[in-house]
Amino acid sequence: MDPADARELLASIDADRLLLICGAGLSMAPPSSTPSARDLAQSCAQKFTSATLQQVPLGADTDLESLADFFLSNPTRRAAFVNKYVDWAQFNGLPNSGHKAVADLLCCRAVEAVVTTNFDPLLESAAEALGERDLRPAVDGNGAACHHQHATLLKVHGCMRRDRDRILWSRLQIEEEGPLYDAQLRQNILSSKTWIEASLRGHDLVFIGFWTDWSYLNDILERIMQESAPGSVFLVDTAEPGELERKAPRLWALANHVGLRRVPQSGADFLDELRVLYSRVFCRNLLRESIPTYRTMGGATDPPDIDFPADLASDDYYALRRDLCGTPSDQAVRKKRPEQTTAVAGAAHLLLRDRAAELAGPIYRMPDGSLVRVVNGAGQVLSLVRSRFSTSQPQAGVPEVVICCCEADGGVPEDVARGGRPATIVRAGSEASWVTLTEARERKLI
């Protein structure tokens, strides 16, 4: 990512201004590999012809909207289209790194909202894998206005999990005089427009795999850009400028008018980089804010380096943030910024670095080769933290010692709190010893 773009995106996150607009390009990246509109049209047309020995209208086999008009105009064809011809399994595969990044940024509110024209459930699946147990995507403006623990996710063209019969395929579905008019779908779009117009104003916009000639969306963007020009507009797409202009000339002109920054990169790769960038700054700021606590614990006047590697994988960074925030694997990380409750865990990281420990993924490798993990107990006693965290190991390997920034158990048997063996550095491959930070310092582990 260009350093100037990185700085601007981080500033936008810090100012609570960043909003993502995602399209089909996000879900087409592997391993999700959802079909393009053209591929879906060809597949559905072939199935129809094979089953009925009839041909679709000329050109409709490569134009999904024209094909949808043909299928939706007849009740029998409509039912076959929704229930037989569309291969829904192709839209329900594995989330890619872009989905994981968006889900993470949604859960911790690093982005203010995500608007997507995709009806697939891949963002929801990615959030579930991160521990989000109650992601609530909206399909209209009323739902988008509801407050949840996560930032707003608006699936403006519908959601296949909620209602496959009410997905927007064609403009005729929302035109009152059109033969395919769907009153509920039109109402969903109208309320979504109202919410989008109000919510996008004053925000920085990032288009991910989204470039459309849907007139109602372009009208909204035109008004927003004319009345309240966003601070920045990023377009993440590998297509050439000429192709982007041809597909949506008005949107291209509008975006360039306000200073479009085109990023010729896969949306999944860009989002994964953004997630790493955000996570690295989060972890670095947490250690910086932990320096006073580190010094009161006997740390050096000049603390060790607080930086984190730029090449650490996004999943490893998420494991680090999870442990630093005291979030077990069955919950999503919610903290957008470091808080006072993370200072002791940050100080433990600094004390480990004093001992020349080096990060190996989301855990530390000591000079003797042993592996140490730091977990924020978040006010819990050791045995409870161990029961909540021990089932989820960081990606880099099984630590030999887990230093828990928490209170001692006070009367709980040692075999419950520590797995039945003394709290010492042990050889690789054995079960981890869980110790409090105080015990780790008393035993010279850090």
Choose between 269 and 176: higher pLDDT: 269
Q: What is the DSSP string of 305-363?
A: -----TTS-HHHHHHHHHHHHT--TTS----SS--GGGHHHHHHHHHHHHTT-EEETTE
pLDDT digits (tens, 9 = 90+) for 116-125: 999 999 999 9
| Cα angle, residue 296 at apex, residues 292 and 300 outer, rounded to 5° | 80
Residue range 407-422, pLDDT digits in tens = 787 544 444 444 444 4
Measure CA of the first residue to CA of the last residue in the chain; give whole Å: 37
CA distances from 156 to 20, 207, 303, 343 (A): 13, 15, 49, 40
Provide the pLDDT confidence category of residue 389 given band limits of 50, 70 and 90: confident
Query: Over the stretch 234-259, which tens digit does the pLDDT of each residue have?
Result: 999 888 888 888 877 877 877 777 77
Going across the sheet that includes 433-436, the strands are 358-360, 363-365, 371-381, 401-407, 433-436
pLDDT at 416: 40
pLDDT above 50: residue 424: no
Strand ranges inside 227-274, DSSP E: 233-236, 260-263
Max avg pLDDT among 61-75, 201-215, 253-267, 428-442:
61-75
Higher pLDDT among residues 384 and 48, named by residue: 48
How large a percentage of the chain has pLDDT more than 70?
Answer: 90
Listed residue (269, 276, 336) closest to 112, CA to CA: 336
pLDDT at 428 over 60: no
pLDDT tens by residue, 336-353: 999 999 999 999 999 999
pLDDT of residue 427: 34
- 429 close to 402: Cβ distance less than 8 angstroms: no
pLDDT of residue 417: 44
E strands present in 2-75: 18-22
List b or e across 268-279, with b for residues whose CB sees 16 or more CB atoms inside 10 angstroms: bbbbbbbbbbbb
For 78-84, what is the mean pLDDT? 95
Task: Name the pLDDT band for 397 (thresholds 50, 70, 90).
Answer: low
The rounded mean pLDDT for the chain is 88
Instruction: From 151, 124, 108, select the one nearest 32 (Cα to Cα).
Output: 124
**For residue 322, what are its two tokens?**
């999870």
Q: What is the pLDDT of residue 394?
A: 65
398 confidence band (pLDDT: 50, 70, 90) = confident
| pLDDT exceeds 90 at position 30 | yes
pLDDT for 41 equals 95
When pLDDT is averaged across residues 18-26 and rounded to a whole number, the result is 92
Per-residue tokens: 73: 């105009």
Domains and CATH numbers, the chain: 3-34+92-269 (3.40.50.1220), 37-86 (no CATH), 291-442 (no CATH)
Whether residue 231 is predicted with pLDDT greater than 80 in this model: the reply is no
Average pLDDT over residues 259-280: 94
Question: Would you say residue 334 has pLDDT above 60?
Answer: yes
Strand-pair partners of 362: none
pLDDT beyond 70 at 266? yes
pLDDT greater than 70 at residue 360 = yes
pLDDT per residue as tens digits for the range 41-55: 999 999 999 999 999
Q: Do the strands 371-381 and 401-407 form a parallel or antiparallel pair, or are they unpaired?
A: parallel
Q: Rounded to an integer, what distance in angstroms lies between the CA atom of residue 382 and that of residue 405?
A: 8
pLDDT category at 112 given cuts 50, 70, 90 is very high
pLDDT at 48: 97
Kindly report whether the peptide bond that precedes residue 303 is cis, defined as omega within 30 degrees of 0.
no
Distances from the Cα of 263 to the Cα of 30, 229, 310, angstroms: 19, 20, 20
Name residue 60's amino acid.
A
Task: Give the model's pLDDT for residue 350.
Answer: 96
pLDDT given at position 415: 42
User: Per-residue pLDDT tens for 173-221?
Assistant: 998 887 899 999 999 999 998 998 888 888 899 999 877 656 667 777 7
Distance CA(123)–CA(141), nearest Å, equals 19
Element (H, E) at 271: helix 267-289
**Residues contacting residue 433 through CB under 8 Å, at least 6 positions apart:** 400, 401, 402, 418, 419, 421, 422, 423, 424, 426
- How far apart are the C-alpha atoms of 194 and 116, rounded to whole Å? 15
User: Residue 421's pLDDT is what?
Assistant: 42
pLDDT exceeds 50 at position 77: yes
Beta bridge partners of 204: 18
* Cross-strand bridge partners of residue 435: 403
- Residue 323 token pair: 């442990």
